[in-house]
Copies of this chain bind each other. A is one copy, B any other.
Amino acid sequence: MFLNMAEPVQIAPATGKLGVLTPGLGAVASTFIAGVLRARQDGTPPLGSVSQMAHIRLGRREDGRNPLIRDFVPLASLDDLVFGGWDPISPNALEAARTCGVLDERDLVSISSQLEGVVAMDAVFDQRWVSRLDGQRVKNLTNKWDQAMALMEDIERFRVENDCDRLVIVWCGSTEAFQEASAVHETVEAFEQGLKDNDDNISPSQIYVYAALQSGVPFANGAPNLSTDLPCMVQLAQQRGVPIVGKDFKTGQTLMKTLIAPGLKARMLGLRGWYSTNILGNRDGEVLDAPENFKTKEESKLGVLHTILQPEVYPTLYGNIDHVVRINYYPPRGDNKEGWDAIDIFGWMGYPMQIKIDFLCRDSILAAPIVLDLALFMDLAARAGQSGVQEWLSFYLKAPQAAGEHPAEQDLFIQQTKMKNTLRQWMGEEPVTHSEAG
């Protein structure tokens, strides 16, 4: 019987400070930091953060046990967070916030000096991977092994200077050009040799992951880059006993897609095509205007339907889907990404119907609480003795990395159930099944 009495795991308490480091200190990271500062300064609610706002039901519905998640599991407190990061362009979080234009000036004024104090360390950056950006604040080192060592020194220096008990790293940088894994990514050994040989197949984001894991710091990957999902990184995470998770924050259009597609499937409505276009005018849009970077993102965005809809099980319904995803750089939109979807479905006797969705969203506003939650949950996982891929955090990710052989779940609702049931289990509570009996 697989639903045996849950056995709680041992979780070390969240004492002292938790440093949150973000490679990429641009729109997403500065919005994340600003929101946390405002939350602890004047109680602005951290909207969109499941770890801070959501309740979790325990036991039967009639028991009435429904605490906040943050009161249920021992998360680090917002008051104990310290922020840092690397960026090739922004000098500090205040300038980043002002340049990207996500937040109104009136939301920055009371925290401006704190934001200014979050100074970006020089980045490991290579324009070959992000052709549309021209970074100036870059480490003056050409050998990749040396770059890795420098990052490890940055990490250690940050830890000491800020008196951190623990660290966690969340990639908030740009999408890198498309690549497939190569031999250099097969093992830790091969990767380290590649670093020393300055192997062309090693991208900057991979060097960050390597440095983090070697430093024993959990790493979450918010972009579609090939990084935590490389065999060498999975191996290193296990060797070093460090949690990793990836990839690509699930924010606007894909978030909607992973709501709608499970709904169509729940009702056995067929899908003939799904056309998604995005327009955005921020740095992210500019980066993705380069075909090689778009391809990385496209792969990440195209995967979701297949896993959810199971065309192999439902060939009549989902065996012939035209799925097209486009991203266009359109400066008038700024950070306010707009996603438009045209969805072609069919029902009873094959009759076609259409759904159009126009999502006037805000990229960084949707991503910021994900950074917070991933930072806090990855730290929790580390204290709970977990290592390797944290598949239970798939809820937050467009292309979730699987821990085993089965592809990770893409359905937002199953992901949510998995996440909550994982927390319940760690704390010795029963999973919730929504059966009549339950």
Interface residues of A (CB under 8 A from B): 1-6, 31, 34-35, 38, 44-50, 52-55, 59-62, 66, 102-103, 107, 255-256, 259-260, 262-263, 266-270, 272-273, 275, 277, 279, 313-314, 316-317, 322, 324, 326, 328, 330-333, 338, 340, 342, 344, 346-351, 353-362, 364-366, 368-369, 391-392, 395, 406, 409, 412-414, 416-418, 421-422, 424-425, 430-438
A269 touches B431 (CB 8 A): no
CB proximity of A437 to chain B, nearest CB, Å: 6
B-side contacts of A316, CB under 8 Å: 45, 47, 53
CB within 8 Å for A270 and B47 given contacts A349-B107, A358-B356, A438-B3: yes
Known pairs A267-B255, A273-B331, A357-B355; A348 contacts B47 (CB<8 A): yes
On whether A421 and B406 interact (CB within 8 A), knowing A268-B53, A344-B332, the answer reads no
Name A436's contact: one of B46, B259, B354, B421 (CB within 8 Å). B421
Known: A1-B430, A413-B413. A422 touches B438 (CB 8 A): no
Not counting A277-B340, A355-B357, a sample of 5 additional A-B residue pairs whose C-beta atoms are within 8 angstroms of each other reads A48-B268, A273-B331, A277-B328, A356-B357, A431-B433
Enumerate chain B residues within 8 angstroms of A333, measured Cβ to Cβ. Answer: 273, 344
B268 touches A263 (CB 8 A): no
Report whether A421 and B434 are in contact in the complex, using a CB–CB cutoff of 8 Å.
yes
> B330 contacts A322, CB within 8 Å?
yes
Given contacts A277-B277, A360-B355, A413-B266, contact A349 B34 (CB under 8 A): yes
Bound complex: CA of A430 vs CA of B55, how far in Å? Answer: 26
Can you give 15 contacting A-B residue pairs, CB < 8 Å?
A: A1-B430, A4-B437, A34-B349, A47-B317, A49-B268, A266-B412, A266-B413, A266-B416, A279-B342, A348-B368, A353-B359, A353-B362, A353-B366, A357-B357, A425-B437
Q: Which of B59, B266, B348, B431 contacts A365 (CB 8 A)?
A: B348
Flag if A432 contacts B433 (CB, 8 Å). yes
Query: How far apart sit A1 and B413, CA to CA, in the bound complex (Å)?
Result: 25
A324 and B314 form a contact (CB under 8 A): no
Q: Is A35 a contact of B348 with CB atoms below 8 Å?
A: yes
Residues of B within 8 A of A259 (CB): 259-260, 262-263
> Known: A260-B259, A358-B355. Contact between A277 and B417, CB under 8 A?
no
A55 to B3, CA, bound (A): 22
> A330 contacts which of B266, B273, B331, B362 (Cβ < 8 Å)?
B273
Q: Are B350 and A47 in contact, CB atoms less than 8 angstroms apart?
A: yes
Inter-chain contacts of A406 with B (CB < 8 A): 61-62
Q: Find chain B residues with CB under 8 A from A47 CB.
A: 268-270, 316-317, 346-350
A314 to B49, CA, bound (A): 13
Min distance, Cβ A369 to any Cβ of chain B, angstroms: 5
Assembled-state Cα–Cα distance A328/B340 (Å): 14
Question: Which residue from chain B places its CB closest to the CB of A436 in the assembled complex?
Answer: B422
Q: Which residues of B lie under 8 Å from residue A425 when comparing CB positions?
A: 435-437
CA distance A366 to B263 in the complex (A): 13
Establish whether residues B331 and A328, one from each chain, have CB atoms under 8 Å apart when the complex forms. Answer: no
Q: Which B residue sits closest to A404, measured CB to CB?
A: B62
Kindly state the separation between the CA atoms of A267 and B356 in the bound complex, as whole angstroms. Answer: 22
